[in-house]
């Protein structure tokens, strides 16, 4: 089961070089599972027991199962589909002495710039292509080793090992080809359109590396974009196999978490609130009943976290370090939305499903990054717990995680989706998993 699941994860990551492709891959999984696509710009006709999803900006997607109309609560999982990388600027080709062409790029999200050197890279994203009636947004991916960011040889930079800071406008621009290299020409040929009909684009560099299993007992995995495609894959897999007759289950994959979530397709947008509003309207719930369904529910903000580093264990919290293959991590910090009650509920759900968990706290001297939990909670005040899997080399173009942890996450998320619980004052009652 673990080997098969790992292979499926690697396939999913390989098919998801950008947030647009992530949504496309999730969309295919949902359609294969019998879900129906709904347009945000049209009316929604729902039927109890059926599955639906809607897409915004081609880069965020929310799926849900329409429950019975007197459902009790919303149970949601929200990972993100974007990863740190480089975004291609407009008119990107830059001449290099009349012999080479490199691309003008900017940094997207927070990444260790030097780790991108000397790797096989390519370009993917979407094009805005002129049509007779207007324009069409078209996904593109050049599935071959196309680019590299060449490092400067140690002979020419004797201070390279002394911590020289790369300049992102000078030192991390990728080499595309010889003097005639033309990225948009390559993409127009791939898309079957004229170059002059490309009105605009959202294009990103991505690592071409394939996921791999390593370690003395094959206990570790490495792949690009494990943060956060591992949580996306686990959430969608659990969503498709979970079921709950009492509650409305939701799986939301947001874009732009790595740049703050404050876009119309990010967790800081109205997207989740809009979907909840339309479900409640169909179910005939008034504002008070809507509020109850939100307050009686739970959101898992799913985003990987830092494992104890074998060479730098002092960077972890001295009493709450988390380890790869140690189970789902439950994040506690002022940067996360977790509180004692949401942590207790999720840990109890996992305990009953025999899924191990670990409590994560930041080292007070080196606080980690935030997640979408707090941002989403400012729009939908649903009780939230931040979770993830322990990994090394976060935001590197090639990250490390645990093979066993993937099945831990799928099992834990499935148990969550199947859960029925109720809040009463200061107490919470967890019933047996729904059939």
- Please give the chain's pLDDT, 435 residues, in tens: 568 999 999 999 999 999 999 999 999 999 999 999 999 999 999 999 999 999 999 999 999 999 999 999 999 999 999 999 999 999 899 999 999 999 999 999 999 999 999 999 999 999 999 999 999 999 999 999 999 999 999 999 888 888 788 999 999 999 999 999 999 999 999 999 999 999 999 999 999 999 999 999 999 999 999 999 999 999 999 999 977 889 999 999 999 999 999 899 999 999 999 999 999 999 999 999 999 999 999 999 999 999 999 999 999 999 999 999 999 999 999 889 999 999 999 999 999 999 999 999 999 998 777 888 888 888 899 999 999 999 999 999 999 999 999 999 999 999 999 999 988 888 999 986 555
- Token pair belonging to 29: 């999984």
pTM of the model: 0.96
Tell me the backbone φ, ψ of residue 195, rounded to 5 degrees. Answer: -55, -40
Task: Map out the domains of the chain with their CATH numbers.
Answer: 2-83+224-430 (3.40.630.10), 85-207 (2.30.250.10)
Positive or negative, the CA dihedral 197, 202, 205, 207 is negative
DSSP β-bridge partners for residue 106: 87
CA–CA distance, 160 with 153 (Å, rounded to integer):
9
CA–CA distance, 296 with 288 (Å, rounded to integer):
12
Q: Residue 224: which of 203, 209, 204, 205 has the closest Cα?
A: 209
79, 59 in Cβ contact below 8 A?
no
Looking only at the bridges linking them, the beta strands covering 60-65 and 248-253 are: antiparallel
CA–CA distance, 43 with 46 (Å, rounded to integer):
10
- Token pair belonging to 296: 């009686």
């Amino acid at each position: 089961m673990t080997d098969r699941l790992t292979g499926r994860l690697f396939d999913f990551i390989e098919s998801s070089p950008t947030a647009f492709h992530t949504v496309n891959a999730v969309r295919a999984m949902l359609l294969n599972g019998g879900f129906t696509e709904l347009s945000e710009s049209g009316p929604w006709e729902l039927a109890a027991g059926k599955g639906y999803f809607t897409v915004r900006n081609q880069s965020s997607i929310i799926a849900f199962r329409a429950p019975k109309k007197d459902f009790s609560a919303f149970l949601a999982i929200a990972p993100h589909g974007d990863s740190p990388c480089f975004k291609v600027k407009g008119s990107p080709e830059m001449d290099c002495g009349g012999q080479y062409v490199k691309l003008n790029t900017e940094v997207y999200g927070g990444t260790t710039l030097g780790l991108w050197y000397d790797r096989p890279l390519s370009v993917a994203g979407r094009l805005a292509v002129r049509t007779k009636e207007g324009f069409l947004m078209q996904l593109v991916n050049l599935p071959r080793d196309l680019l590299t960011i060449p490092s400067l040889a140690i002979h020419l930079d004797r201070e390279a090992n002394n911590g020289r800071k790369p300049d992102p406008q000078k030192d991390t621009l990728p080499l595309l080809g010889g003097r005639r290299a033309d990225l948009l020409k390559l993409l127009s040929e791939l898309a079957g359109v004229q170059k002059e009909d490309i009105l605009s684009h959202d294009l990103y560099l991505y690592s071409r590396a394939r996921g791999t299993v390593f370690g003395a007992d094959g206990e570790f995995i490495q792949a690009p974009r494990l943060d956060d495609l591992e949580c996306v894959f686990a959430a969608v897999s659990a969503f498709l196999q979970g079921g709950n007759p009492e509650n409305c289950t939701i799986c939301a994959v947001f874009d732009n978490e790595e740049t703050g979530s404050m876009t119309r397709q990010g967790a800081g947008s109205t997207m989740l609130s809009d979907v909840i509003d339309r479900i409640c309207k169909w179910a005939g719930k008034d504002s008070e009943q809507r509020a109850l369904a939100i307050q009686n529910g739970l959101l898992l903000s799913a985003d990987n976290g830092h494992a104890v580093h074998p060479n730098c264990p002092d960077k972890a919290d001295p009493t709450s370090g988390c380890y790869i293959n140690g189970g789902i991590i439950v994040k506690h910090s002022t940067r996360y939305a977790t509180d004692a009650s949401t942590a207790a509920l999720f840990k109890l759900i996992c305990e009953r499903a025999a899924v191990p968990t670990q409590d994560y706290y930041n080292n007070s001297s080196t606080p980690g990054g935030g997640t979408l939990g707090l941002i989403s909670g400012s729009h939908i005040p649903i009780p939230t717990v931040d979770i993830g899997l322990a990994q090394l080399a976060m935001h590197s173009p090639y990250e490390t995680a645990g093979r066993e942890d993937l099945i831990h996450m799928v099992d834990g998320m499935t148990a969550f989706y199947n859960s029925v619980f109720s809040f009463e004052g200061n107490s919470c009652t967890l019933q047996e998993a729904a059939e």
